[in-house]
Structures are given as C-alpha cells and as structure tokens.
Structure 1
Amino acid sequence: MQTNRLLTQEEIETRLADCPGWVYRQEENCLHKVLIFKDFITAFAVMAQVAMWAEKLNHHPDWMNVYNRLEIRLNTHDLGGVSFLDFELLARIEESVAQRANLEAWRI
C-alpha cells in the first residue's frame, strides 16, 4: 500500500470512476454509498466481514444499519479528508459484498 496522504478532488474522482455506486460528498468530505441487502442477516454478515478488514487496516467506516439497509461513509479523520486508506477499505467492502452469493445490493 502507498504512503497514506490526502487525495485531491481530481484523484478522488478518477478513482471513483472504477467504483460503481460510490460518490464523493464534498460537503462531508467523504466517500459514500448506500447498500440494500436481501435481509438483515446478509447485511450483518457483510458488516462482520468488513469489521475484520477495518481492524486489520486500523481504519474504520462510519456506517449506519437499519434492517437490510447499510449506509457507509469513508474518510480519514486523522488527515481531515479522503485518503488512499479510504480507497483500500472501499475495495475490501466491495470484495465483502461480492462474496455474499445470496445478496442483491444496489445504490439508492
């Protein structure tokens, strides 16, 4: 992994081009995505897997779960914005979602 640093808005937008459903929220200075799962247990399974990655990376998402809906915000609090580490965790989140064979997720 690269040395962590804040990314410019141009770098963020370039990287987001390969991240369907993720958006940059300038007013919150974060990456954002909402996922809707088949049911609560599927949402929770994805969250549990992401939690393991978050611990390994020592980088934790801001997220909110209500039943089958998971809202995720990523930014690097220590640096005050979006960094390489946010995109590393984003990739792990996408892997975790893809591994759930019985889920259907989409951005709303």
Structure 2
Amino acid sequence: MNNLDMAERVSRHALFKELVTRRARLVRSLMSVGLVAYFILIALVAFRPQILRMPVERGGATTVGVVMAVAILALGWIITWIYVRRANSTFDRLSVHLLEEVAR
C-alpha cells in the first residue's frame, strides 16, 4: 500500500473524523478562554485604565495591571499544559488506534 492510499484511508475513517472534531473542539475552547482574558485586559487599558493603576494593597508598588498581565502569561502556560496533556493522552491514543485500524 502506498502513502497516498494510506492517507486516503485515514482521512475517510470514522476515528479520524472523531479525532479532528475532538481536537478542534478543545482548541476552540482553550483559544476562547485565552482571547477573552486578553481582550478583557485590552478593554481595561482602553476604557478603564484607572483600575489597572490601582495598587494591589494599600501603599504597595504592585498594581492591578501588573497582576493581570502576569495572570495572562500564566494562563497561556496553563492552556498550553492542558493541550499538551490532552494531546499526549487522548489524541495520541486515538491516533495509534486509527493507524492500527487502517493498517489492517
């Protein structure tokens, strides 16, 4: 069996469609969380900058804006960790099962 036949069989298989659907759903969800958080920060910068200038604690030097920016960076790492964890468990397992099915 050549590579084109194999690719055609994989793309038509129900497991492949399930894999693509599950991956797309996860990516859309994680991307939405990240974008909403990012655009909330941008909206605050544009429309309510005084909130971002407020100190976290009375007399402190750290502002709400700095905390939010660091939180968005941390959220990016968390989103990446969630995706990698799911890819290494669910998606890889489905991929192996798919290739075994198609190879028969």
- TM-score, normalisation: structure 1: 0.29
Is the radius of gyration larger for structure 1 or structure 2?
Answer: 2
Structure showing the higher helix proportion among its residues: 2
- TM-score, normalisation: structure 2: 0.30
